Structure 1
Amino acid sequence: MTQSPAFFTAFSRGLRGRCPHCGEGRLFRSYLKVQSDCPGCGVDLTRYPADDGPAYFTILLVGHLVIVPILFIPYVWQGPPVITVPLVLTPLALVTLGLLPIVKGAFIGHMAYLRLTSDQAERHTADQA
C-alpha cells in the first residue's frame, strides 16, 4: 500500500478533483463516478468508500451558507410563491449540484489521508452490528 499523503495535500488535491496520492490524475471519470485507477500513479481509487458522506456535508454547507441568508430577504417571504419558489429553488439546485463533486473529492482526499479503505469500513460496520 502506498504511503498516505499529508492532510492538506490530500484534501486540496481532492478539492481540485485530482488523485489524492499524486495530484496528477483525474479523480472522476464523469460527474460523480470515481476512476477505477489513477492514470498518473496507478493507485486504486475505488477503495475509498465515499457513500453518503459527501451528500451530507453538501446539504450541511448549502443549508447554512445559502439557505439561511436567503431567508433574510423579505421578498422570499412576501412575494408570490409562483414566482419565488422557482427563483429560489433553481439556483439552489445548481449550487448544490456544483458543490457536490468538490465535496466528494475533498472527502475522498481525507479518506486517503486516513488510509480508510472499503475493507476497513466493512469490518468496522460488521464489528458494530
Structure 2
Amino acid sequence: MSGDNPETETGQPSIGQAALFGLCPNCGARSLFDGLAEFASKCSKCGLDFSKFNVGDGPAGFLTLIIGAFIVGLALWLEVSLSPPFWVHALIWIPLTMMCVFGGLRAAKAALLFSEYSQNAGEGTIKK
C-alpha cells in the first residue's frame, strides 16, 4: 500500500514541494518550468513529457480573483486607516499584486500537474 502514495516513494517530491519549487513529479528535479509560468516540454533529468498533462488556464482566473479581492481589501484598509497619497498605493499594490499572481500561478499550475501525474490522468483519447 505504501507504493500507492507518491509522497513516500524515493525521488518523488510531495505536492507542496513540487508546487513551491517547480519540481518534476517523477524525479524531483527543478525542471518543471521553462519560463515565469510556462512549463518546460519535458524534464531535463528523467525525460517525463510535461506536454501530455492538461493544466489549462483554470488557475489563472481563479487566482486572479482571489488575489484581487485580497489586495483590494488591504488597499481599502490602508486608505481608511492611514489615507496615504495615491503614489504610495501604486508603489505598494502593483508590485505586490504581480508577485502574488505570478508566484501563485506557478504554484497552482505545478500542483495541478503533480495531481494529474499522481492520479495517472492526462489528455483523453478516443479509442477506435
TM range (shorter): 0.5 to 0.7
**Which protein has the bigger helix share?**
1
Query: How do 1:77-116 and structure 2 match up within 5 A?
Result: 78-79=83-84, 81=86, 83=87, 86-87=90-91, 88-116=93-121
CA distance in structure 1 between the partners assigned to 2:23 and 2:47 by the alignment: 13
User: Over aligned residues, Cα RMSD in angstroms?
Assistant: 3.2
* Consecutive unaligned residues in structure 1, runs of 5 or more: 124-129
Does 1 or 2 have the higher relative contact order (CA < 8 Å, sep 6+)? 1
CA contact (8 A) 1:4 1:112 kept: no
CA distance in structure 2 between the partners assigned to 1:23 and 1:68 by the alignment: 37
Quote the residue 2:57 is aligned against.
52
* Consecutive unaligned residues in structure 2, runs of 5 or more: none
CA distance in structure 1 between the partners assigned to 2:42 and 2:102 by the alignment: 25
- Provide closer, same or farther for how the CA distance between residues 25 and 9 of structure 1 changes in structure 2, counting only shifts above 3 A: same
1:28 has 2:33 as partner: yes
Q: CA deviation at 1:113?
A: 1.8
Matched residues, percent identical?
24
CA distance in structure 1 between the partners assigned to 2:45 and 2:5 by the alignment: 16
Runs of 4+ in 1 over 4 A off after TM superposition: 75-81
- Provide closer, same or farther for how the CA distance between residues 33 and 106 of structure 1 changes in structure 2, counting only shifts above 3 A: same
TM-score normalised over the length of structure 2: 0.68
CA distance in structure 2 between the partners assigned to 1:18 and 1:66 by the alignment: 28
TM-score normalised over the length of structure 1: 0.68
CA distance in structure 1 between the partners assigned to 2:81 and 2:97 by the alignment: 13
Q: CA deviation at 1:75?
A: 4.9
